[in-house]
Amino acid sequence: MGTKKDNMHIDELNSLAYQKIHSNPEKGIELSKLNFKLSESNNYKKGMAESKLTEGWCLLLLNDYEDALTALEYSINLFKSINDLVGEMKALNAFGVLYTNISSYETAMNYYSKALHLSKKTGNNDRLVASYINIGSLYTELGKIDEAFDYYNKSLEILKDNKNQTQLCACYINIGDNYEAQNKYERYTYLFKEKLVSKQDFETAENNCNYLKEKYELTRRSKETDISFRQQQIQQLESSLNRMRGNLKIIMQKQDELTIQAPSEGLLSLIEFQIGESMPRGTRLGQVDVIDSFKVRARIDQHYITRVEVGRTGTFPYSGKDFRLKSTMVYPEVEENEFKVDFIFLDQQPQRIRRGQTLHIRFELGDLEEALLLPKGGFYQKSGGYWVFILNENEQRAIKKDIKLGRQNPLFFEVLEGLEPGDKVITSSYDNFGKAEELILKDN
What would the mean pLDDT of 389-415 be, rounded to a whole number?
88
Query: Do the first three CATH levels of 4-244 and 372-440 match, i.e. the same topology?
Result: no
Average pLDDT over residues 94-109: 89
How far separated are the first and last CA of the chain, in Å rounded?
Answer: 83
Tell me the mean pLDDT in the region 360-369: 72
Residue 333: pLDDT over 60:
yes
* Predicted local distance difference test score (pLDDT) of residue 51: 92
Question: Burial code of 59-85, b = ≥16 C-beta within 10 A, e = fewer?
Answer: bbbeebbebbbbbbbbbbebbeeeebe
Longest dimension (CA), the chain: 161
Residue 41 has pLDDT above 90, yes or no: no
Query: What 3-state DSSP class applies to 101?
Result: helix
Percentage above 70 pLDDT, the chain = 76
For the ranges 166-180, 218-232, 380-394, 396-410, the lowest mean pLDDT is seen at 166-180
CB 288 within 8 A of CB 266: yes
Which among 4, 5, 97, 83 has a CA at the least distance from the CA of 49?
83
Please give the mean pLDDT across all residues of the chain. 79
CATH topology of domain 292-350+359-363: Elongation Factor Tu (Ef-tu); domain 3 (2.40.30)
Q: Which CATH superfamily is domain 4-244 in?
A: Tetratricopeptide repeat domain (1.25.40.10)
pLDDT tens string 199-247:
666 566 566 666 555 555 555 565 566 566 656 766 776 777 778 778 7
Q: What is the pLDDT of residue 388?
A: 93
* Sequence-separated (6 or more) residues with CB below 8 Å from residue 443: none
Rounded CA gap, 9 and 19, in Å?
A: 16
The one-letter amino acid at 161: D
Query: What pLDDT, on a 0 to 100 scale, did the predictor assign at position 289?
Result: 67
The pLDDT of residue 279 is: 74
Confidence (pLDDT) at 84 = 92
So what's the pLDDT on residue 416? 92
- Closest listed residue to residue 179, CA positions, set 209, 202, 137, 213: 209
Question: Is 193 or 324 the better-scoring residue by pLDDT?
Answer: 324
Q: Please choose, from the candidates 180, 100, 188, the residue with its C-alpha nearest in 3D space to the C-alpha of residue 145.
A: 180
Cβ(51)–Cβ(36) below 8 Å: yes
- What local confidence, expressed as pLDDT, does residue 405 receive? 92
Per-residue pLDDT band at 163 (split at 50, 70, 90): low
Q: What secondary structure letter does DSSP report for 335? A: B
pLDDT recorded at residue 78: 93
Give the mean pLDDT of 14-35: 86
| Statement: residue 326 has pLDDT above 80 | yes
Residue 404, pLDDT above cutoff 90: yes
Closest alpha carbon to 438 in 403, 402, 398, 401: 398
The pLDDT assigned to 158 comes to 73
Per-residue pLDDT reduced to its tens digit, 238-290 = 777 778 778 778 877 777 766 777 766 766 666 666 777 777 777 777 777 66
pLDDT band at 291 (very low <50, low <70, confident <90, very high): low
For residue range 109-162, what is the model confidence (pLDDT) as tens digits? 999 899 889 988 888 888 888 888 888 888 877 777 778 777 877 777 776 665
* Residue 164, pLDDT above cutoff 60: no
Spatial neighbors of 64 by CB under 8 A, at least 6 apart, are none
Domain boundaries, the chain: 4-244, 292-350+359-363, 372-440
Kindly report, residue by residue over 406-430, the tens digit of the pLDDT: 888 778 899 999 999 999 999 999 9
pLDDT per residue as tens digits for the range 54-77? 999 999 999 999 999 999 999 999
Q: How confident is the model at residue 387 (pLDDT cuts 50, 70, 90)?
A: very high
Say if residue 329's pLDDT is above 50. Answer: yes
Helix/strand/coil for 254 = helix
pLDDT at 395: 84
- The arrangement of secondary structure in 372-440, i.e. its CATH architecture, is Beta Barrel (2.40)
Q: With pLDDT > 90 as the criterion, what percentage of the chain qualifies?
A: 18
pTM comes to 0.43
DSSP 306: T
